[in-house]
Amino acid sequence: MADLNPAAIATKWLEGLNNATDAKAFTDQFLPTGWLRDLMCFSWDLRSISGRDSIADFLSAPCKSGSNLSRFERAGLHDCTLETTRIPPSTFPVPGVPGLQGVIAVFSFALKSPAASGRGVVRLLPDGGGGWKAFTVLLNMEELKGHEEPSAGPKGYFGTTWEEEQEKRIAEIERDPTVLIVGGGQAGLMCAARLGRMGIRALVVEKTPRVGDVWRKRYPNLSLHISAYSCSVLYQSWPKTYPRFLPKGKIADFLEAYAVGQEIHVWASSTVLPTPSYDTSTGRWTVEIDRAGTRVSITPKHIVFATGIGSPRVPKWPGMDSFEGAIYHSDVHKGSAPFKDKRAVIVGACNAGIDICEEFVVKGAAEVTMVQRSATCVASQHTVETLIQHLSPESELIPIEDGDLMANSMPMGLILKLIADGGAQQFKEADKELFEGLTKAGFKLTWEPIPGEGETGYPGFLLHRATSGAMLDMGNAQMIVDGRIKVKQGVEIERIDRDGLVFADGSKILADVIVLATGYEPIIKDIASIMGKGIKDLVGDKFWGLDEAGELSNCFKPTGAPGIWFAPGPFSWVRFLSKHLAINILAEELGLKGRNEV
Ligand SMILES: Cc1cc2nc3c(=O)[nH]c(=O)nc-3n(C[C@H](O)[C@H](O)[C@H](O)COP(=O)(O)OP(=O)(O)OC[C@H]3O[C@@H](n4cnc5c(N)ncnc54)[C@H](O)[C@@H]3O)c2cc1C
């Protein structure tokens, strides 16, 4: 291909966007196979649409029932302007087509209704007729006009002391919280920080005594498996001298300080009592809270569930009570030191399973066996960083807000499709030696998060199954290859004897300690225990996983229940998508949208 001028190509394409007066003219800027990821510009929803015709259908539909305006007309997209300094336009090699270059460009834009601004990302490909059309477009609403997130603090002195100001602010939050956030882990805290910046009163209720306890209680050798940059916390970077893969203790203490630094009001040792009730006439929930032993009633308009990825799943086998050693879930594993020279069996072959096996080996257990029931998706951390561009060390050179924009610029469904269509082969090749070693050791591998739906590898397991069934290898899987961790594969546990596990094939493994690294119950179970089973009728039981809109089901977007929101996920998702959740709430508070309106 001749030398391309990405700025000129992107500018011309943006002209077409600015001149588009109807949905058809807009979608004419796309390839027939193009994708649109619309984050709250043409609706209050998060949505990914594939195919020019489907995009046109979506944009031509009435913006809400009874309206004469189409989604496209109401939004009034305008002022699409190429960004040339923060992330200048550039070319990229088109996967699978040797020699073909595409153009990627970032642009800003404005909307008329709601009056708002945002940033977009387009990937352009030659259209075969001498022009360029969009293969992917992200339109990300970032600010409601007049209600932008402040980027600086108040100027000048207060008439009163800072402490008096804080007391007043806290009294207001406690008297009339607009939003109740259940759970003060990273997700709850980042949502609270975001809402606080937008001037929305948010109260966090956390069941443990100290913010960060959820990390303190996790197994001792736990470190994040993704770099500190990618796991940055909203508004407040980790100190540059922290390890690249953050140990859990540092995360715990940082989050505790974060709550103070971001002026987040947390009621610790507190839980929501079942079952909150909703008053349709006031649009408020009545919520009873056990506040460190005292019953308190509050009436927020919104409840955000940030209670984590579910309660530990503890399988039941006959004879468990007769086991004479220790048996417990990985969630409460306090370390392997007491089991030096003992036989350890770890049930479960995913992230927690391998970390805990490693610790038993290092701490001198006599024998360590991992029980793998079916198959696991393994990807080495190094390979993931090499092949997923936004996780590479080079990506850390740009501000995290820009990194988030780029990381979210491709629809999740498209990412999975590209991997299933051949991208998985790259991952397999890169970790070939490891996979051969694991297979030889009797460990079974898989690439399909949903049987029959394609090999989408680790990203597929993350998006569909919250990483359940997957192992992001930090180097410790080699212990399986080397035989330091034995594998018992593909046979169900039939019962537990007083001295070990008996399998369906009649074999037995002697054990002094059994750790159940068996994952977590579905999130809806925890939520239903607070909200009552009826919540399932309103929101369904699917959390996480891709919904019919191609986005994370029920997460960070309007659910079917009034004022009920869900905020689960890794740091990177919460950091980015907390904004969409907060803008949705703000828009309801400002009367820009109806309750539950999508
Ligand atoms: C081995 C391992 C490695 C991981 N690596 C990464 C990584 O590299 N990058 C990454 O981004 N993520 C990683 N994660 C996953 C994820 O980020 C964490 O699980 C994270 O803790 C999720 O944050 P959260 O705030 O949603 O949930 P949690 O951290 O579980 O916090 C939920 C909070 O809610 C509280 N709570 C629960 N129920 C109630 C209730 N009813 N009332 C009041 N409070 C309640 C809990 O006490 C807790 O404080 C990893 C997880 C594991 C286990």
pLDDT, tens digit, 9 for 90 and up, residues 248-278: 999 999 999 999 999 999 999 999 999 999 9
Averaged over 374-383, what is the pLDDT? 96
Res. 157: pLDDT tops 80: no
pLDDT class of 176 with cuts at 50, 70, 90: very high
* Strand, coil or helix: 96: coil
- Expressed in angstroms and rounded, the spacing between residue 369 Cα and the centre of ligand 1 is 27
**Residue 306 in contact with ligand 1 by CB distance below 6 A:** yes
Give the pLDDT of residue 124.
Answer: 98
**Residue 385 in contact with ligand 1 by CB distance below 6 A:** no
Contact between residue 312 and residue 523 where contact means Cβ atoms under 8 Å apart: no
Enumerate residues 6+ apart whose C-beta is below 8 A from 70: 22, 23, 59, 60, 61, 62, 63
User: Using CA atoms, how far apart are residues 581 and 39, in angstroms rounded to an integer?
Assistant: 11
Give the pairing type, strands 179-182 and 202-205.
parallel
**Residue 556 in contact with ligand 1 by CB distance below 6 A:** no
* Strand, coil or helix: 103: strand
**Residue 272 in contact with ligand 1 by CB distance below 6 A:** yes
Instruction: Tokens for 519, please give them.
Output: 């994952």
Res. 2: pLDDT tops 70: no
Instruction: Tokens for 306, please give them.
Output: 């940030």
- Expressed in angstroms and rounded, the spacing between residue 310 Cα and the centre of ligand 1 is 9
Give the pLDDT of residue 422.
Answer: 87
Give the pLDDT of residue 542.
Answer: 84
Identify whether 114 is preceded by a cis peptide bond (ω within 30 of 0).
yes
Give the pLDDT of residue 467.
Answer: 81
**From 307, 376, 476, 518, mutation site for ligand 1 pocket: most ligand atoms within 8 A of C-beta:** 307
- Expressed in angstroms and rounded, the spacing between residue 405 Cα and the centre of ligand 1 is 23
Q: What is the pLDDT of residues 92-123, one digit of tens each?
A: 999 888 999 999 999 999 999 999 999 999 99
**Residue 224 in contact with ligand 1 by CB distance below 6 A:** yes
User: Which atom of ligand 1 sits closest to the CA of residue 529?
Assistant: 41
Mean pLDDT of the chain: 95
User: Using CA atoms, how far apart are residues 268 and 180, in angstroms rounded to an integer?
Assistant: 13
Averaged over 165-178, what is the pLDDT? 96
**Residue 312 in contact with ligand 1 by CB distance below 6 A:** no
Give the pLDDT of residue 429.
Answer: 95
Give the pLDDT of residue 66.
Answer: 79
**Residue 190 in contact with ligand 1 by CB distance below 6 A:** no
Averaged over 172-178, what is the pLDDT? 98
- Expressed in angstroms and rounded, the spacing between residue 339 Cα and the centre of ligand 1 is 27
Instruction: Of 23-32, 147-156, 228-237, give the lowest mean pLDDT range.
Output: 147-156
Q: What is the pLDDT of residues 530-562, one digit of tens each?
A: 999 999 999 998 888 899 999 999 999 999 999
**Residue 309 in contact with ligand 1 by CB distance below 6 A:** yes
> For the chain, what percent of residues have pLDDT higher than 90?
89
Question: Cα(first)–Cα(last) distance of the chain, in Å?
Answer: 44
User: Which atom of ligand 1 sits closest to the CA of residue 272?
Assistant: 42
Other beta carbons less than 10 A from residue 559's beta carbon: 21
User: Using CA atoms, how far apart are residues 151 and 469, in angstroms rounded to an integer?
Assistant: 41
Please give the single-letter amino acid code of residue 13.
W
**From 571, 572, 575, 576, mutation site for ligand 1 pocket: most ligand atoms within 8 A of C-beta:** 571
User: Which atom of ligand 1 sits closest to the CA of residue 245?
Assistant: 8
Enumerate residues 6+ apart whose C-beta is below 8 A from 48: 35, 36, 37, 38, 411, 412, 413, 414, 549, 550, 551
Contact between residue 496 and residue 511 where contact means Cβ atoms under 8 Å apart: no
Among 155-169, 417-431, 491-505, the range of highest mean pLDDT: 491-505
Identify whether 275 is preceded by a cis peptide bond (ω within 30 of 0).
yes
**Residue 227 in contact with ligand 1 by CB distance below 6 A:** no
- Expressed in angstroms and rounded, the spacing between residue 309 Cα and the centre of ligand 1 is 6
Give the pLDDT of residue 154.
Answer: 79
- Expressed in angstroms and rounded, the spacing between residue 212 Cα and the centre of ligand 1 is 10
Give the pLDDT of residue 97.
Answer: 87
User: Which atom of ligand 1 sits closest to the CA of residue 271?
Assistant: 42
User: Using CA atoms, how far apart are residues 81 and 15, in angstroms rounded to an integer?
Assistant: 9
**Residue 545 in contact with ligand 1 by CB distance below 6 A:** no
Give the pLDDT of residue 64.
Answer: 81
pLDDT class of 395 with cuts at 50, 70, 90: confident
- Residue with the smallest CA separation from ligand 1 atom 41 is 271
pLDDT class of 299 with cuts at 50, 70, 90: very high
DSSP at 70: B
Nearest Cα to 94, choosing from 418, 539, 392, 345? 418
Res. 1: pLDDT tops 80: no
Instruction: Tokens for 38, please give them.
Output: 């619309």
**Residue 308 in contact with ligand 1 by CB distance below 6 A:** yes
Contact between residue 211 and residue 197 where contact means Cβ atoms under 8 Å apart: no
- Expressed in angstroms and rounded, the spacing between residue 494 Cα and the centre of ligand 1 is 32
What DSSP string runs through 356-404? Answer: HHHHHHHTT-SEEEEEESS-BEEEEHHHHHHHSGGGSGGGGGS-HHHHH
**From 189, 213, 214, 272, mutation site for ligand 1 pocket: most ligand atoms within 8 A of C-beta:** 214
**Residue 226 in contact with ligand 1 by CB distance below 6 A:** yes
Instruction: Tokens for 338, please give them.
Output: 């007491």
Give the pLDDT of residue 503.
Answer: 98
**Residue 310 in contact with ligand 1 by CB distance below 6 A:** no
- Residue with the smallest CA separation from ligand 1 atom 20 is 570
Give the pLDDT of residue 217.
Answer: 95
* Strand, coil or helix: 121: strand
Give the pLDDT of residue 506.
Answer: 98
User: Using CA atoms, how far apart are residues 534 and 561, in angstroms rounded to an integer?
Assistant: 10
Res. 311: pLDDT tops 90: yes
Res. 309: pLDDT tops 90: no
User: Using CA atoms, how far apart are residues 102 and 92, in angstroms rounded to an integer?
Assistant: 5
**Residue 571 in contact with ligand 1 by CB distance below 6 A:** yes
